A = this chain, B = another copy of it.
Amino acid sequence: MAELKGNLVIGQSGGPTAVINSSLAGAVQEALKHDEITGIYGMMHGIMGVLNEDFVDLGKQDPAVIEGLRRTPSAATASCRYKVAPEEYDKALEVLEKYNIRYFFYIGGNDSQDTAKKISELAKAKGYELRAIGIPKTVDNDLPVTDHCPGYGSVGRWLAIGVRDAGLDTEAIGIVDTVKVIETMGRNTGWITATTALAKTSTGKSPLTPLSKGGNLQVEDEAPHLIYLPERPFDEEKFLADVDAVYSRLGYCVVAVCEGLVDKDGEYITASSRAIDTDKFGHRQLGGVAQYLCDVVANGLNIKARWDKPGTIQRVSMMCASSTDLEEAYMVGQMAVRHAVEGKTDYMVTLVREPGPEYKCTTGLVELEKVALGTKRVPDEYINEAGNGVTDAFIEYARPLIGGPLPEYVRLEKIPVKA
């Protein structure tokens, strides 16, 4: 493959995460090693930066700043949710030609991979040599082919710790704050919601007795007790029966629900109907399902329910970033550049889980057309039969992604006192 000399552009798209800047750092630091890459530019607000000729020079930053991106959340070159109109692709390509951009990288989810694919196709049609590689990023973890997506492990760790702590809270004060419903992100898939199951860590690991019970803590006694994913139609009657069963056994109940829950007709349980809340891809703003379900519980069971909705904090916060996720996000950025320099184009970098008992992850490539606009849902083998929890197979899949073990807590032993 002949050496291709020219400039590189990279952009960030979609909801910012704890680790998307790590992918940017990986790409920039790799690009700096290659002489054929003459300039390294960042698109401001993703593809809009190309259309507006709004770039930032990433090659001329203080190296400490690029390194610092690895511990900085959100999107340093700013992000967008912009669907390029058919007539705008010509303009985009003109700008790339004008700036002699020969390497095009787009960090994002399936919509972003589609954008990269279309630009590359147009370049080919016009005879402009361009190498376009997609870099995966989505907390939703719904891209096909790749084992998982950068960003997912960090939201998983955040929720595992947050739900564990919030669950201990309910365990301690469930006597009055009986039911807690925690709403997680997840547009059409339950990958994020499912990670709340990683909050269950004490089982079989501690000889300590939970104070509210007479014996060792069982897995079904640990929060979250019920987990609802959009992969199963949500049934309010069944939900109430599930909550009632946990409440009858423990005296309290912690529930994790996906913001994108749908009923048997595929309609969102709650979603904004305001026109301004629908983005250019036709996605409606979600949120409010936990509050709604608290009303359902209060009205249906006459017990008190409260809700937490950590919202964007779960997606973007660096509080609990997964060390594994941070490393892998860096790696996909780095490998995207390496593959492009080698001559590859029209691929997205994937994460590949190597076989064996120890978790080991390398990278691969998949054609952009195979991931663009596709969505991977949580498979049946990861969802329990009752549709209100996950299986051990899911736990095995997800646990390595959230980094090291959760912080270790203690429980008192129920040593009785005599008068």
Contact = CB atoms under 8 A, between A and B. Distances in A.
A325 to B, nearest CB: 15
Contacts of A317: 161-162, 165-166
A136 interface: no
Contact of A419 (B53, B306, B419): B53
B211 A315 contact: no
Contacts of A64: 410
A255 interface: no
B313 A308 contact: yes
Interface stretch (A54-62, A239-247, A331-339): A54-62
A35 interface: no
Nearest to A75: B172
A54 to B, nearest CB: 9
- Which of A79, A173, A419 is the most central at the interface, judged by chain B CB atoms within 10 Å of its CB? A173
B316 A168 contact: yes
Contact of A415 (B15, B18, B57, B409): B57
B287 A303 contact: no
Nearest to A298: B274
Contacts of A313: 162, 165-166, 182, 308, 310
A78 B316 CA distance: 32
A175 interface: yes
A380 interface: no
A172 B15 CA distance: 9
A74 B165 contact: yes
Given A165-B316, A168-B16, A408 B68 contact: yes
Contact of A79 (B39, B44, B172): B172
A81 interface: yes
Contact of A308 (B72, B168, B310): B310
A277 B291 contact: no
A76 interface: yes
A171 B408 contact: no
Interface in A44-97: 44-45, 48, 53, 55-58, 60-62, 64-65, 68-69, 71-82
A80 B82 CA distance: 49
A55 B316 contact: no
- Which of A158, A165, A212, A274 is the most central at the interface, judged by chain B CB atoms within 10 Å of its CB? A165
A410 B65 contact: yes
A302 B275 CA distance: 9
A395 interface: no
A393 interface: no
Interface string A177-197: 100101000000000000000
A407 B64 CA distance: 15
Given A39-B417, A310-B313, 8 more contacts: A72-B411, A74-B168, A76-B211, A82-B176, A158-B319, A161-B318, A177-B312, A308-B312
25 contacts: A12-B172, A15-B169, A16-B168, A16-B169, A39-B417, A41-B417, A53-B419, A58-B412, A68-B409, A72-B168, A72-B411, A73-B168, A73-B169, A74-B165, A81-B176, A99-B419, A162-B317, A165-B316, A166-B316, A169-B312, A180-B312, A182-B311, A277-B304, A308-B313, A319-B320
